[in-house]
Amino acid sequence: ITLPDRDELRQPFRDICETLGLAGTILLSHEGINFFLAGSRKGIDSYLEFLAQDQRLADIPLKVSYSDTQPFRRMLVRLKTEIISLGRPEISPADFTGEEIAPQHLKAKLDADEDVVVLDTRNEYEIRIGTFEDAVDLNISSFRDFPDAINNLPEEMKEKEIIMFCTGGIRCEKASAVMLNAGFVNVKQLKGGVLGYFEECGGDHWDGDCFVFDRRVALNPQLEETDHELCFACREPLGQEELNSEDYVIGQSCPHCA
């Protein structure tokens, strides 16, 4: 969707979230909206009713998970040039993007050991927490590195079926467009991302947990919070092995920054 009235939307969104006691982040861009919100069930339902009043936003796909605690510290409504920063203004998912593939369809392909390339579009620190078995890792530290990273893929991969994934599906809207623009002919994106796959298929063909961008740090395939933590100093996600390392000092350092 496009939101030419992006700036005018900021205050109404801020007001409704404060009224309903929600916390999290809403990103508003001329290219669309993205939000991560938490609150009471009644508050979230009321927010969705508010959202549905704008026909452009009425049918936005949602991913719902449950938490015993509030995973966000405050409520922010931010104006952004891009929902996910890529630095390539010629790439517009509203104009063209990769075909979606349902989680169950991907699972069926993996069950049958079909000749497909499963491509992880996420950052290196996210992939360390978990990824699909045999997924291609581009070893990037920022999504802005993605366009250059795919140039290093084998030329013959341009003719193969590529199924890419990210946490919730947002990054793949742009990543798939980048790949199509670069000459990859059969590019699909996992509908709902990893979290959507967990919801429908559990942990089949997945190794580890999934990093998330809130205080929960990571979720397992049952969509439950894990024991991962973030390093206070460098903000790297840490598993039990790293938390047990002699280089881990609470509030000071971890094996990645010591």
Look up the CATH number of the domain holding residue 47. Answer: 3.30.70.100
Using alpha carbons, list the distances in angstroms from residue 188 to 43, 165, 257.
35, 9, 36
Instruction: Centre a 10 Å sphere on the Cβ of residue 107 and count the other Cβ atoms it contains.
Output: 16
Percent pLDDT > 70 in the chain is 100
Please write the tens of the pLDDT for every residue from 126-182: 999 999 999 999 999 999 999 999 999 999 999 999 999 999 998 999 999 999 999
Mean of the per-residue pLDDT values of the chain: 94
234 is catalytic: no
Residue 67 and residue 153 in one domain: no
Runs of H (alpha helix) within 79-129: 103-111, 124-127
Residue 76 and residue 105 in one domain: no
Q: Does the pLDDT value for residue 65 go beyond 90?
A: no
Q: Determine, yes or no, domain membership for 251.
A: no
Instruction: Centre a 10 Å sphere on the Cβ of residue 101 and count the other Cβ atoms it contains.
Output: 18
Residue 12 and residue 53 in one domain: yes
116 token code pair? 């497909």
Position 62 confidence tier, pLDDT thresholds 50, 70, 90: confident
State the sign of the Cα–Cα–Cα–Cα dihedral 12, 60, 142, 209: positive
Q: Flag the least confident range among 19-23, 117-121, 214-218.
A: 214-218
Residue 132 and residue 179 in one domain: yes
Percent pLDDT > 90 in the chain is 83
Q: Of 91, 76, 74, 106, which is closest to residue 192 (Cα–Cα)?
A: 106
Q: Determine, yes or no, domain membership for 63.
A: yes
Residue 185 and residue 158 in one domain: yes
Q: Between the CA atoms of 243, 244, 247 and 249, what dihedral angle is there, to the nearest 10 degrees?
A: 60
Q: HSE, CB side, 13 Å, CA atoms: give it for residue 109.
A: 18
Residue 111 and residue 205 in one domain: yes
CB 224 within 8 A of CB 234: no
Full domain range(s) for residue 139: 99-210
Q: Of 216, 71, 87, 58, which is closest to residue 146 (Cα–Cα)?
A: 87
Residue 74 and residue 103 in one domain: no
Q: Determine, yes or no, domain membership for 130.
A: yes
* pTM, 2 dp: 0.83
Query: What b/e readout covers 231-252, taking b as 16+ CB neighbours within 10 angstroms?
Result: beeeebbbbeebeeeeebeeee
Q: Which of 17, 166, 201, 254 is catalytic?
A: 166
